[in-house]
Structure 1
Amino acid sequence: MARYSAANAFDHSMPERTAVLLVQLGTPDAPETSAVRRYLREFLSDPRVVEIPKLVWALILNGIILNVRPARSAEKYATIWTDEGSPLAVHTANQARRLGQALEARGHAIEVAWSMRYGRPAIAQVMREMRERNVTRLLVLPLYPQYAASTTATAFDAVFSELSGWRNQPELRTIRNFHDYGPYIEALARHIEAYWAREGKPDVLVMSFHGVPRRSLLLGDPYHCECLVTGRLLAERLQLAPEQFRVTFQSRFGKAEWLQPYTDRTLEELGAGKTGRVDVVCPGFVSDCLETLEEIAIEGRETFIAAGGSDYRYLGCVNDSAEFISALARLVERHVAGWPGTAAEPACPHAALARRRERAVALGAER
């Protein structure tokens, strides 16, 4: 068996293609205990996600977490599941489709595919499908606006690991973040302003980002700083005074200290303070998922109301809004500049590809 793999159906007449690979975190295949257990085992076994000694964590993961948490999480997934499937998968697929259309409308011949770091479609499988289509230029775009080792870096790890077994590797570019990218901030702002135009403005806007252990900040992870930058830029764009918004962190897990202030405690304080109306957005998530639709939209409301609050609104993610897709298209254009297949660099014409195949076959190639 060959040590390095290659495409099964390569032909010298095949055009060299440029592609974008969108990467999201992942989702179970179904809102069922067994499916959630498979997903959590893969997710929580990643050393980028849980940075404690492997043996110690294996005992905790297999002895407690995977025997208790899957059933609880499955119940939560069931509250947000749609007829089409997981909201995260549905939104990501729509983003890929609409981004491909937007790039084509701008004159680019660029494929767009999507994958999940954990679960399906797996990064390796999607990359192998690209290889069969002779993708020789690949831009990897993790759909995390803010860089974190536990999200962005592990997506890159998976891509690099897959390529390490390829005989014929593509030219590779990556996008590590877009937390301060003007068109993304504008897409967020317009999404919020459209809601406010219909419903009026709140007393306080809470910008809730996914949390990470505080230890990661002390070890050099830029995530916390990038979240604060996004929050500041969005507040400036919306012309909010300091007392009109909060930047918080959600989804803490375990007993260790995570980034603060915590979203749930902030909502308790706002509720107890009889804040008239609180709106919540999640600028670190580009697609609605369990952490937004259940933790923020449902649990967050319950926390706020139980503490004494009365009017709570979750505004939703940008998902596949026209403004966000336009921002993604502009981001991709910036990073594929100079590659064939872009509007400025047309791909090789079919006649030239046919002649290339003829020459290759004449020299002994099979195809």
Structure 2
Amino acid sequence: MNENKKTGVLLANLGTPESPTAPAVKQFLSEFLHDHRVVDMNRWLWCPILHGAILPFRSPKVAKLYQTIWMDGGSPLMVYSKRQREALNAQLGVPVELGMTYGNPSIQSGIEALLAEGVERLVVLPLYPQYSGTTTAAVFDAVANAFKQASYIPELYFVGDYHNHPLFIKALAAKVRDSWQQHGKGDLLLCSYHGIPKRYADNGDVYPRHCEETTRLLGIELGLSEQQIKMTYQSQFGKEEWLQPYTDKTIEALPSQGIKNIDVICPAFSVDCLETLEEICEQNREAFMEAGGEVFHYVPCLNADDAHVALMAQLVREKSA
């Protein structure tokens, strides 16, 4: 890194409710689902649906799901994100702050803390390996908004994606090999990515191309044939068509195709969260077993693993060199 100017790092992620309660979840979902990057519907149409139906009915249900995975230090996303921040700070020896696009700590508060430490070069690292306008671009918007009234703007460096970075692929492969060593190798490695509406990709979002490339490179790194690795999309919401194939439908169909022992990894998530621990590890595991599956192993996210922190450090060094 260039040592002439003080460098700081903002680790950005989606965010989380502050507690596993309906009011906290409602507040978080309201902020999240009001973002045009996430839902681009006309506000006159969307807001009545959001406030009249989705938030009142969905918030209590989601709160109950959070309660099944909540940790002593908060939600898994927040617990692991804090560990990432601490580990990256120790490795780089520069100020590192967390900034969540929705909820707290906010991106604005993270930037303010870094500026208070005299940072002159700011590397923003959205922890989304594959770029999407719904995630990465939303971080960019929040960073831009944070500086709108600022009297001083440091040099800015923004990591747009790292879907094909060699250290990322090797870190994912290491997690899979660890799982194989502990539990044995399944018949199929299923890579489940968070979905987005298909229309977004049709309009130019490169996200599916990045997901496909991550999957291809991971398969090569692990020496898997095309029949031994597959990719799907999870977490679809609403009636609109999302990217396919869908994870849940695929998992339900696999046993009838003779595939009854699977490993599942979620390469779009940098930390374990509701979508990985509850949706994949609980809901989809149950669906697989009910459909006739026999063995289902979830491969955890990279979280604060040494290999993941080394990757983040390298991404910062490459941007601020």
Report the Cα distance in structure 1 between the residues aligned to 2:219 and 2:291, rounded to whole angstroms.
26
> 2:17 aligned with 1:17, yes or no?
no
CA distance in 2, matches of 1:163, 1:173: 14
**Matching residue of 2:320:** 336
Q: Provide the rounded CA distance (Å) in 1 between the counterparts of 2:152 and 2:269.
A: 34
For residues 22-72 of structure 1, the C-alpha deviation after alignment (integer angstroms, 9 at most, x for no partner) is 001010000000000000000000000001111100111011001100000
Question: Is residue 123 from structure 1 mapped to residue 107 from structure 2 by the alignment?
Answer: yes
CA RMSD for the aligned pairs?
1.1
Counterpart selection for 1:101 from 90, 96, 106: 90
User: What residue in structure 1 maps to residue 59 of structure 2?
Assistant: 70
The one-letter code of the counterpart of 1:223 is Y
Structure 1 residue 186 corresponds to structure 2 residue 170: yes
> Could you tell me whether the CA contact under 8 Å between 2:123 and 2:156 is conserved in 1?
yes
Q: Is the 8 A contact 1:41 1:66 kept in 2?
A: yes
> 1:21-32 counterparts in 2 under 5 A?
21-32=10-21
- Does the 8 A contact of 1:16 with 1:134 survive in 2? no
Contact 2:108–2:142 at 8 Å: present in 1 too? yes
Contact 2:96 2:114 in 1 (8 A): no
Describe the SS at the equivalent of 1:57: helix
Report deviation, 1:199: 1.8
Give the corresponding residue for 1:60.
49
Structure index of larger Rg: 1
Q: Does 1:207 align with 2:199?
A: no
1:277 to 2:266 alignment: no
Cα shift readout 1:107-152 (whole Å, capped 9, x = no counterpart): xxx2111111101101111211222222121010000000000100
Match of 1:228 among 212, 232, 240: 212
Q: 1:17 Cα deviation (Å)? A: 2.6
Aligned partners of 2:15 and 2:100 also within 8 Å: yes
| Equivalent residue letter for 2:13 | Q
Contact 1:178 1:184 in 2 (8 A): yes
- What is the aligned counterpart of 2:74 among 77, 85, 92? 85
Taking structure 2 as the reference length, the TM-score comes to 0.97
Among candidates 94, 109, 134, match of residue 150 of structure 1: 134
**Mapped partners of 1:47, 1:276: distance in 2:** 40
Instruction: Please tell me whether the aligned partners of residues 194 and 235 of structure 2 are also in contact (alpha carbons under 8 angstroms).
Output: yes
CA distance in 1, matches of 2:268, 2:252: 22
Unpaired segments ≥5 residues, structure 2: none
User: Aligned equivalents of 1:145 and 1:130: distance in 2?
Assistant: 23
